[in-house]
């Protein structure tokens, strides 16, 4: 007889670790909080927040040229690891001031749990408290907390923490790079180094160069979230192309999303381990609970130092009027001309004999010119007609591809737009004569093209399709910008005829026989 006892399989008893890579980078949703509806909405109600207190949502330490994201789930990673914490965490080695907060969740939602400083203990309240307590994870390396059961309106919790001591502004120039490890960055904009050198060339010490960089960014930049029609346009995102635009435009315009990413990448080039922190910076109410609004969203950086450990630095420029953009082409100055003097009558000048008038009839001459013109136009017309007949099929191919691209980019959902961006990249690959293997994965297709951008694009597309979280529109916009860059890179080094042949290639329009190659 078979045993009656219930069987237990080891793999079902092992709990999977919290993997932050499954979730979209919270920084990608920065502009969502600045939209009209969310900006004045209460995200959190916090009691006990100290003056100047910053609420951390997540620490981002991994940059791939497209997004700054929360690091790896691997225990050996430089990002540290997320571990389950029942209720408390030992922070006895941290020097600083104790803080105690009570938090009521409003319109904020997600797996990232807002905290402050270095977490020491937490207590969940409400009907879902047991489930949240059992799904609470904390990464002590980055100071980021998460709950697998996402926060939602009405959730309540209280926590205690230690706010680490920070140097004064006068002490920033004396800072020396610490020894903390952070994941290696990829896709660094080329413009970053030259701008950093311009801002810091007058200094030699690492701390002084770091302080000079922060000061120059605040003095040079202007703040705009791109939602006020009265202000100049400010594109969202923090991919390499957006950072390049920030540093090369005539007026440096952006918001905390771009400035924090730029400052973190520059600090790394100065030798400081650096990371971006995404969170809220509200105006603290000293008379009672503080309402944290959507417009209080911000981003800043932390740099690791020998003297103080992780030091907070905010590179965001102050709010001030943005000047008008200067004309791109200098206006040519019209110089006054000397008046033309009338000719002087010379009585001694001999009369010049006029040539005899032509005896040919002017109307005959005009008719002859008209006949010549009509003959030329007739020849040109036949040539144009013949060229149109020859080129019509090729123009139809180009138009079909443009329409396909437009439909993919304007798909009804964000996931479909990201997936459509990947399909557009796949079609460009085969149109350029590259041969993927049978039934390839996205990573295999990206490997054929090579480079970091294609591999990152594959990872972003996989995450959008398979992640339980809904991607944001900013991610779709970045995917399509990367697809455009990759298409241009595939044209580099090719002759004009090879580029034309790729543009009119029928391989990506070949129907099921071609599409079947890319099914997973």
State the residue for tokens 């013949």. 386
Q: Which residue has better confidence, 354 or 408?
A: 408
Question: What range does the domain containing 511 cover?
Answer: 383-518
Which of 284, 313, 342 terminates a domain? The answer is 313
99 and 211 co-located in one domain = yes
- Give 432-443 pLDDT, tens digit per residue: 888 777 768 888
Residue 271 lies in a domain: yes
Residue 390 has pLDDT above 70, yes or no: yes
Judge if 299 and 403 occupy the same domain. no
Residue of 29, 30, 122 lying closest to 84 (CA atoms): 122
In-domain check, residue 375 = no
∠ CA 48-28-264, nearest 5°, is 75
Instruction: Measure Cα distances from 433 to 24, 44, 447, 507 in Å.
Output: 33, 54, 15, 9
**Do residues 395 and 279 share a domain?**
no
Average confidence (pLDDT) over 191-209 = 95
Q: What's the per-residue H, E or C state across 484-518?
A: HHHHHHHHCCCCHHHHHHHHCCCHHHCCHHHHHHH
Q: Residue 364 — very low, low, confident or very high, per pLDDT cuts 50/70/90? A: low
**Which residue shows structure tokens 């635009």?**
245
Q: What is the average pLDDT value for the chain, to the nearest integer? A: 83
Give residue 349's pLDDT band: very low, low, confident or very high (50, 70, 90).
very low
Q: Which residues pair with 62 in a beta bridge?
A: 69
State residue 72's pLDDT score.
Answer: 55
Q: 305 with 453, same domain?
A: no
* One domain for residues 451 and 302: no
Q: Per the domain annotation, does 9 fall within a domain?
A: no
Structural domain count of the chain = 2
Give yes or no: residues 54 and 197 share one domain.
yes
pLDDT digits (tens, 9 = 90+) for 49-85: 999 999 999 999 999 998 999 975 444 456 668 888 8
Domain boundary among 280, 313, 346: 313
Over residues 344-371, mean pLDDT: 53
For residue 15, what pLDDT is reported? 55
Whether 330 maps to a domain, the answer reads: no
pLDDT at 352: 43
- 308 shares its domain with 388: no
Structure tokens at 111: 């797996």
Instruction: Output the CA torsion 222→224→230→233 (10° steps).
Output: 100
How much is the pLDDT for 127?
84
Which has the higher per-residue pLDDT, 341 or 206? 206
Range 202-225 average pLDDT: 95
pLDDT tens per residue, range 472-495: 888 888 888 888 888 888 887 678
Q: Supply 238's token pair.
A: 């923090």
- Cα 12 from Cα 253, distance rounded (Å): 51
For residue 112, being part of any structural domain is answered with yes
In a domain, 293, yes or no: yes
pLDDT of amino acid 3: 52
Of 486, 505, 497, 512, residue with least CA distance to 398: 505
Q: Kindly indicate the confidence band of residue 510, based on its pLDDT and cuts at 50, 70 and 90.
A: low
Mean pLDDT score, 382-396: 76
pLDDT recorded at residue 12: 43
Do 260 and 391 reside in the same domain of the chain? no
The answer on 224 and 90 residing in a single domain is: yes
State whether 308 and 434 are in the same domain. no
8 Å CB contact between 433 and 449: no
Percent pLDDT > 90 in the chain is 42
pTM of the model: 0.65
pLDDT surpassing 70 at residue 10: no
Cα distances (Å, whole numbers) of residue 81 to 25, 106, 141: 17, 28, 8
- Dist CA 389 CA 472 (whole Å): 45
Using one digit for the tens of pLDDT, what is the confidence trace for 322-335?
A: 988 877 654 443 43
Confidence band for 224, pLDDT divided at 50, 70 and 90: very high
For residue 360, being part of any structural domain is answered with no
Do 204 and 297 sit in the same domain of this protein? Answer: yes
| Residues 6+ away with beta carbon under 8 Å from 412 | none
Cα angle value 60/111/46 (rounded, 5°): 90
In a domain, 487, yes or no: yes
Based on the domain organization, do 202 and 304 belong to the same domain?
Answer: yes
Last residue of a domain, one of 294, 313, 332: 313
Give backbone dihedrals phi and psi of 100, rounded to 5 degrees, phi first. -130, 125
* Predicted confidence (pLDDT) per residue in 242-258, tens digit: 999 999 998 999 999 99
Q: What is the pLDDT of residue 334?
A: 41
pLDDT tens, position by position, 88-143: 888 888 889 999 999 999 999 999 999 999 999 999 998 889 899 988 999 999 99
């Amino acid at each position: 007889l078979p045993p009656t006892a219930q069987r237990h399989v080891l793999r079902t008893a092992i709990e999977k670790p919290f993997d932050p890579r499954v979730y979209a980078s919270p920084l990608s949703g920065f502009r969502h909080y600045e939209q009209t509806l969310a900006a004045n909405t209460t995200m959190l109600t916090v009691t006990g927040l100290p003056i100047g207190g910053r609420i951390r949502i997540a620490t981002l330490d991994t940059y791939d040229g497209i997004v700054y994201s929360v690091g790896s789930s691997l225990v050996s990673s430089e990002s540290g690891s997320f571990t389950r914490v029942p209720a408390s965490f030992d922070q006895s080695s941290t020097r600083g001031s104790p803080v105690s907060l009570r938090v009521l969740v409003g319109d904020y939602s997600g797996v990232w749990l807002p905290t402050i400083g270095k977490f020491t203990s937490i207590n969940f309240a409400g009907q879902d408290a047991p489930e949240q307590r059992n799904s609470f994870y904390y990464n002590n390396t980055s100071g980021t907390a998460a709950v697998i059961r996402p926060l939602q309106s009405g959730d309540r919790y209280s926590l205690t923490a230690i706010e680490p001591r920070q140097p004064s502004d006068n002490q920033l120039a004396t800072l020396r790079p610490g020894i903390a490890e952070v994941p290696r960055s990829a896709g660094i904009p080329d413009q970053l180094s030259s701008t950093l050198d311009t801002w810091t060339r007058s200094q030699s010490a690492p701390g002084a160069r770091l302080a000079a960089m922060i000061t120059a960014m605040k003095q040079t930049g202007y703040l705009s979230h791109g939602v006020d029609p009265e202000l100049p346009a400010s594109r969202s995102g923090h991919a390499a192309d957006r950072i390049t635009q920030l540093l090369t435009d005539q007026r440096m315009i952006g918001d905390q999303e771009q400035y924090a990413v730029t400052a973190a990448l520059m600090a790394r080039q100065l030798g400081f381990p650096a990371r971006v922190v995404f969170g809220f910076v509200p105006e603290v109410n000293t008379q009672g609970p503080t309402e944290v609004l959507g417009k209080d969203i911000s981003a800043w950086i932390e740099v690791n130092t020998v003297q103080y450990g992780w030091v907070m630095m905010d590179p965001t420029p102050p709010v001030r009027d943005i000047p008008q953009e200067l004309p791109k082409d200098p206006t040519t100055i019209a110089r006054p001309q000397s008046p033309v003097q009338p000719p002087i009558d010379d009585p001694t000048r001999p009369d010049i004999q006029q040539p005899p008038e032509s005896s040919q009839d002017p109307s005959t001459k005009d008719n002859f010119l008209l006949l010549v013109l009509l003959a030329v136009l007739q020849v040109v017309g036949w040539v144009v007609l013949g060229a149109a007949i020859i080129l019509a099929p090729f123009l139809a191919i180009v138009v079909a591809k443009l329409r396909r691209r437009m439909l993919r980019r304007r798909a009804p959902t964000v996931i479909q737009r990201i997936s459509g961006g990947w399909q557009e990249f796949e079609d460009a690959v085969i149109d350029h004569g590259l041969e993927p293997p049978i039934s390839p994965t996205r990573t295999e297709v990206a490997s054929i093209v090579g480079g970091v951008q294609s591999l990152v694009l594959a990872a972003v597309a996989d995450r959008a399709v398979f992640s339980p979280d809904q991607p944001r529109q900013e991610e779709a916009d970045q995917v399509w910008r990367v697809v455009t860059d990759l298409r241009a890179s595939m044209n580099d080094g090719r002759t004009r005829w090879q580029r034309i042949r790729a543009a009119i290639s029928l391989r990506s329009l070949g129907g099921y026989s071609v599409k079947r190659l890319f099914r997973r």
